[in-house]
């Protein structure tokens, strides 16, 4: 390759592809992609050359640029971001963060064969739920459990297993839309069941369910309305009363709890959310809940309940389509294990740690970084530390707010503010804030990597604003 240095004329692609570093890059990114990147870079050199700039072509510079282009952070579109949105469990930002114990166990099972569905005693086939079922039962008081892809899947599988082709009565006050295209009424229909609406939006009574029960009824159902609240002249039937009615009619009661809460949040100074154990205690026969909401685990859904029902659910051929992989089982196991020691939970479970951070800590954090942000935005925006309210997110306790501190960025006009927000989103590790009342807010509740945040501020690209 020395020969290139003697000439000021850019070499051919074929010559470059023989270079050692380029060959390594080809192994990782594929020859075609590497060739395309080289071509792009060579074109720039050639333009210079034929444009009359005959200063020496730099082989080293070209290789360096090609390598940088290929390794640029933006290559894989899924990347780490700073969630400073003020929503701790942000569905669009991937919900819960996993604890280190979960991550290391995930890495372990991902990088070697495992006894995922293999019984080490008999040498025969095993059940992947066996690795986690007894721990779930211990923490929830349930007889049996199974794990699927998410709570939506848990609900579909439960209804499809227990009520296919049959009627499912549900209160008109519980026809929830979770977000995106997930609506309980549609899930019931897509699960192969017929929705039988009972009661009214604000009031549903036990006799409404009683009147709806007929020979076509397969289950009774209750959906926890996690993301909204109806206030005023309202009435709903308690889980225990519904369980009683279900039992009298020899029907199972299915409860969709949404957020699976294994501990009393009030013990940690947070608003109360219904507990999984209480739903079981009230007599629910099957309960479904999410693993990446308040539980703080990986994306998954848990179905717990009476043994024969869970058995039936496990035997549904759809279970295979909805099952979780070994990494999810490993991560979920480690997260659930933390719940056996509630005294340490706040320290070890990222979701709970973020939800319970003290306001003093958040204020101190805000004051240590506000000037650095102010400096990079000097001349464009004013920065200050303000009081804000964080939200739990993922539909949990939508009306409850957690007092927090934020960096507030204000400008003379909205277009400028949006350009600043966009510049923060274009950083190597994008920073996601929220615009509220004419300010761009960076909520400190979810900022843990202060050094990482500060270290990339210098790269904020404001040319769109200045240019």
State the residues that interact with ligand PLP by CB under 6 A: 150-152, 176, 178, 223-224, 226, 256, 258-259, 290, 301, 395
Residue 284 main-chain phi, psi, to 5 deg: -65, 140
CA distance 217 to 96: 37
Question: Shortest gap between Cβ of 392 and ligand PLP (angstroms)?
Answer: 12
Strand-pair category, 177-179 with 182-183: antiparallel
**How many whole angstroms separate alpha carbon 306 and alpha carbon 304?**
7
By beta-carbon proximity to ligand PLP, the closer residue of 69 and 149 is: 149
Please state the closest distance from residue 395 (CB atom) to ligand PLP, in A. Answer: 5
Cβ burial of 165 (10 Å; 0-12, 13-18, 19+) is exposed
160 Cβ contact list (under 8 Å, min separation 6): 191, 192, 193, 316, 318
Q: Which is nearer to ligand PLP, 45 or 289 (CB)?
A: 289
Least gap, CB of 290 to ligand PLP (angstroms)? 3
Min dist CB 95 to ligand PLP, Å, is: 8
CB of 186 to ligand PLP, least distance (A): 12
The residue among 217 and 226 lying less far from ligand PLP, judged by its C-beta, is 226
CB atoms within 10 A of CB 181: 9
- Smallest gap from residue 394 Cβ to ligand PLP (A): 6
Nearer to ligand PLP, 156 or 263 (CB): 156
- Give the span between the Cα atoms of 200 and 171, in whole angstroms: 7
Nearer to ligand PLP, 176 or 345 (CB): 176
Rounded to a whole number of angstroms, the minimum distance from the CB of residue 331 to ligand PLP is 15
Residue carrying the six token digits 């349930």: 142
Task: Find out whether 89 and 393 touch, Cβ atoms under 8 Å.
Answer: yes
**Dihedral angle computed from the Cα positions of residues 345, 350, 351 and 356, in that order, rounded to the nearest 10 degrees:** 70
Q: Which CB atom, from 168 or from 409, has the smaller least distance to ligand PLP?
A: 168
Q: Which is nearer to ligand PLP, 11 or 395 (CB)?
A: 395
CB 36 to ligand PLP: min, Å:
39
**Residue with smaller CB distance to ligand PLP, 217 or 261:** 261
Number of residues that this document lists for the chain:
467
Pick from 65, 66, 67, 94: nearest CA to 79: 94
Chain position whose Cβ is nearest to ligand PLP: 258
CA distances from 433 to 285, 318, 436, 465 (A): 42, 40, 10, 18
SS3 378: coil
């Amino acid at each position: 390759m020395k020969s290139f240095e003697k000439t000021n004329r850019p070499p051919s692609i074929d010559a470059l592809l023989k270079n050692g570093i380029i060959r390594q890059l080809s192994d990782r990114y594929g020859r075609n992609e590497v060739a395309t990147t080289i071509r792009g870079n060579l074109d720039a050199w050639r333009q210079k050359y034929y444009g009359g700039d005959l200063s020496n072509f730099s082989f080293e510079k070209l290789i360096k640029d090609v390598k940088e282009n290929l390794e640029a952070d933006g290559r894989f579109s899924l990347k780490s971001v700073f969630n400073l949105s003020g929503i701790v469990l942000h569905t669009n930002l991937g919900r819960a963060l996993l604890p280190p114990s979960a991550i290391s166990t995930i890495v372990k099972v991902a990088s070697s064969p495992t006894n995922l569905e293999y019984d080490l005693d008999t040498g025969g086939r095993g059940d992947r739920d066996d690795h986690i079922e007894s721990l779930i039962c211990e923490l929830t008081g349930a007889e049996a459990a199974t794990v699927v892809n998410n709570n939506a899947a848990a609900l579909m599988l439960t209804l499809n297993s227990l009520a296919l082709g049959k009627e499912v009565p549900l209160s008109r006050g519980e026809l929830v839309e979770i977000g995106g295209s997930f609506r309980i009424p549609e899930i019931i229909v897509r699960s192969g069941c017929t929705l039988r609406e009972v009661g009214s939006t604000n009031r549903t009574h036990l006799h409404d369910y009683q009147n709806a029960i007929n020979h076509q009824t397969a289950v009774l159902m209750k959906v926890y309305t996690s993301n909204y609240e109806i206030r005023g002249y309202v009435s709903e039937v308690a889980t225990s009363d519904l369980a009683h009615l279900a039992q009298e009619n020899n029907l199972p009661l299915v409860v969709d709890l949404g957020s699976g809460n294994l501990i009393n949040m009030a013990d940690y100074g947070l608003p109360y959310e219904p507990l999984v154990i209480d739903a079981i205690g009230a007599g629910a026969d099957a309960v479904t809940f999410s693993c990446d909401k308040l539980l703080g685990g990986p994306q998954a859904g848990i179905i717990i309940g009476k043994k024969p029902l869970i058995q039936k659910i496990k035997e549904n051929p759809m279970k295979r389509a909805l099952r979780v992989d070994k990494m999810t089982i490993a991560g979920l196991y480690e997260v659930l294990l933390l719940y056996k020691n509630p005294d340490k939970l706040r320290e070890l479970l990222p979701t709970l740690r973020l939800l319970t951070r003290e306001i003093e800590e958040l204020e101190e954090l805000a004051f240590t970084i506000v000037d650095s942000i102010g400096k990079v935005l000097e001349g464009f925006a004013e920065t200050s530390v303000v009081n804000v309210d964080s939200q739990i997110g993922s539909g949990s306790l939508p009306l409850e707010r957690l007092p927090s501190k934020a960096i507030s960025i204000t400008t003379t006009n909205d277009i400028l503010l949006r350009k600043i927000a966009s510049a923060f989103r274009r950083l190597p590790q994008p920073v996601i804030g929220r615009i509220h009342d004419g300010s761009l807010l960076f909520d400190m509740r979810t900022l843990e990597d202060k050094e990482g945040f500060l270290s990339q501020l210098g790269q904020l690209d404001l040319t769109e604003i200045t240019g």
